[in-house]
Amino acid sequence: MKKLLLPLALMVTIASSGEQFAMSDADRAMYKEMLENNPADIFVEEGGEILDEMLGGEEALAKFLGVSEKELPKYIAGFPRYIKKLGNVVGIDQVLQAMQIEQGKEKTKLKSGKMFSMLAYVKSLANDEQFTIDINADEHIKASYDLGKTTFETARGGRGLSCLSCHSADIVGQVLRTQPLPDLGKAGAGATWPAYRMTKSSLRTLQRRFQGCMKNALLKVIPIGSKEMVGLEVYVSTLAQEAKQPIAIPGLKR
């Protein structure tokens, strides 16, 4: 552990009250206002319109997944999950791509604003639900969880950093680049993305956020939709599940 944390120690400022460094008064006021009027709401609404026009809406989604519309919210709360017809553990965005292929339409890129909006809308259908990911349901989801945990904990790059370097229990609360490092479970990270990022003025997904962290840490960036990325989402989502953090989309992040 010391070997992993040594590079980070050069970048982290320890503060007795880290929150005071997280935002200026102006930013804090803006954040409070955005909590009541999240700019991402318009993207979520747009995602619903795209889903209706392009794929047939929630009815078509439920049919593709083999569940009723009434069951859809709880079923969505189980993503990422193993989908037999796709032969993989996948995220909601990959399901939407598979629907496009089945309907003979051009795939929307996973790393695109249109897909981010559709993903946000579909995941928002499960708002207030708890995650229902069962990592012991089958060998596929267990393997995805294990891969995600390994990816989270494995040090990479010239700095020898991993996700765990910033989010282990003994690092949480310290300040990195003016922000206190959160406990991802208690913060409900898996349950609050897609989210509006104030610093980017745009809607971002959990996997896109992972990429941002990797880039900042000078790590090789893993592609969205890869087995490693889906596994990371499974792992981080189970942390929110263990902390009993309900799904709340869209989130709002600095």
- Residue 97's pLDDT is 98
Return the half-sphere exposure (C-beta side, CA atoms, 13 A cut-off) of residue 63: 9
How large is the average pLDDT for residues 204-232? 96
Rounded Cα distance between 30 and 198, Å, is 9
Q: Report the predicted TM-score, pTM, of the whole model to 2 decimal places.
A: 0.86
For residues 182 and 85, give the distance between their C-alpha atoms in angstroms, rounded to a whole number. 37
Helix%, strand%, coil% for the chain, nearest 5: 50, 10, 40
Confidence of residue 183 (pLDDT cuts 50, 70, 90): confident
pLDDT of 18 strictly over 50: no
Architecture field, domain 41-124: Orthogonal Bundle (1.10)
In degrees and rounded to multiples of 5, residue 196 shows phi and psi of: -85, 125
Fold of 2-35+135-253: Cytochrome Bc1 Complex; Chain D, domain 2 (1.10.760)
Mean pLDDT of 71-100: 98
Domain ranges of the chain: 2-35+135-253, 41-124
Of all residues in the chain, the percent with pLDDT exceeding 90 is 73
Q: Identical fold at 2-35+135-253 and 41-124?
A: yes
